[in-house]
Amino acid sequence: MENLQKKANNVLMHTYNSLPFSLVSGKGCYVKDSNGKEYLDFIAGIAVNALGYNHPEFNKAIKKQLENIIHYSNLFLNKEQIELAEKLTLNSHFDKAFFCNSGTESVEAALKLAKKIGKTKKNGAWKIVAMHQSFHGRTTGALSLTGQKKYQSPFVPLIPGVFFAEFNNFDDLKQKIDSDVCAVIIEPIQGEGGIHPADKEYLKKVRSLCTKENIVLIFDEVQSGIGRTGYLFAHEYFDVYPDVICLAKGLGGGLPIGAILSTDKFSQFEPGDHAATFGGNPLVCSGANAVMTELLDNNLIEHAKEAGVYLKQKLIELQGKKSSIINIRGIGLMMGIEFSSGISGIISACREKGLLLVGAGEKVIRFVPPLIVTKKEIDKALDILENVIK
């Protein structure tokens, strides 16, 4: 492994402080490293591997597609993509889909769509209001909407016209709204910012305000969407329905896909406005269709909801035993535990004992396991964590 690290240092740009080993195989919620050591994986590629590893139906679908055709241009009709768009729209209030390759690209697409709507339907309105502590991705547009200095600082000035409001503070948002605002973008559960769910009442007020002021309401559900909350989409939990939604991560079950969905009223792209060479190609869509089938037809959403309730209950029990845990937050299988001090030691000790966990900021450990996780696996993960916390 030392050798691999050396090679990595030689040839990779230093964008990640990667751990000094790689993973070579996986099955269900478990992965193995190159020494044969097994880990229970509660990172899941950071909320990506919805079906875990080596899921038979997922593998079958992509193998079949692989042997037929993996890519052709969107210049041709794409059956797998249309099937995926049908699954997403028939199971939501949205009417239309656009496919891209990642979360940040889905935010770029939503941003362009909102800007076009502002220009053509709202007298040239061009400003966007985003939230402090948000995370929307690393490309220039998405980074402009990301309300965290640590990500933005090396790259300012970013795109103009972005204003930040305090998350869950309706009065602050209201103050930021004027007739030049074309869109508001919110993560219904802030993920990278530390697993902070929005207040239901707050989101309802935001919805009413956007409708009244003719502002596009965008929900970034890149991390919280696709079954993670125990609902297909997080906004169903909140009972608040955005005009546009951003999706990625779990949708492809490990294959790179992003999407935006919108209602017909807001579906204002025309040929030439936006595109992606690889966006929604047959291979990634065949994988995403398998994920959607598991969620919708094979009870995975209900399973995730039940597992999420169990996880929360166990985390609350753990908090009762450990005074260093100061808060438990989240919905479904997107949970965070906040500690009174830094978490890096806890994460590495858990890894030693065979549990993979990831942080969300300095003091929050995030739980985003595969949606197929069982109660037994949750028990095992929490046993390891309990033993590790002093």
Ligand X SMILES: Cc1ncc(COP(=O)(O)O)c(C=O)c1O
Helix 282-297 with 79-90: angle, nearest 10 deg: 30
CB of 211 to ligand X, least distance (A): 23
In contact, 197 and 188? CB cutoff 8 Å: yes
144 binds ligand X (CB under 6 A): no
Residues numbered 281 to 320 that lie near ligand X (CB under 6 A) are: none
Q: Is 222 in the site for ligand X (CB under 6 A)?
A: yes
Q: Should residue 136 be labelled a site residue for ligand X when binding is judged by CB under 6 A?
A: yes
Closest CB 246 distance from ligand X, rounded Å? 6
Interface mask (CB under 6 A) for ligand X, residues 116-135, using x and -?
A: -------------------x
Q: Phi and psi dihedrals of 189, rounded to 5?
A: -130, 115
At residue 331, φ and ψ (nearest 5 deg) are -135, 135
Binding flag, residue 108, ligand X (CB under 6 A):
no
Q: Give, in order, the Cα–Cα distances in Å from 324 to each of 182, 285, 304, 316, 343.
A: 43, 44, 28, 13, 10
Give min distance, CB of 181 to ligand X, in A: 21
Q: Which of 108, 220, 243, 294 binds ligand X (CB under 6 A)?
A: 220
CB of 56 to ligand X, least distance (A): 26
Q: Could you give the angle at the alpha carbon of 218 between the alpha carbons of 241 and 99, nearest 5°?
A: 100
Minimum distance from residue 191 beta carbon to ligand X (Å): 4
- Looking at beta carbons only, is 41 or 220 nearer to ligand X? 220
Cβ-closest position to ligand X: 103
Collect all residues with Cβ–Cβ distance below 8 Å to 248 and sequence separation of at least 6.
Answer: 102, 103, 105, 106, 222, 257, 258, 259
* Residue 103: closest CA among 134, 129, 71, 69: 134
Among 49, 65, 81, 102, binds ligand X (CB under 6 A): 102
Q: Site for ligand X (CB under 6 A): which residue of 103, 147, 279, 308?
A: 103
List beta partners, residue 100: 258
Select from 258, 229, 262 the least CA-distant residue to 245. 262
By CB under 6 A, tell whether 187 contacts ligand X: yes
Q: Which residues bind ligand X (CB under 6 A)?
A: 102-104, 107, 135-137, 187, 191-192, 220, 222-223, 248
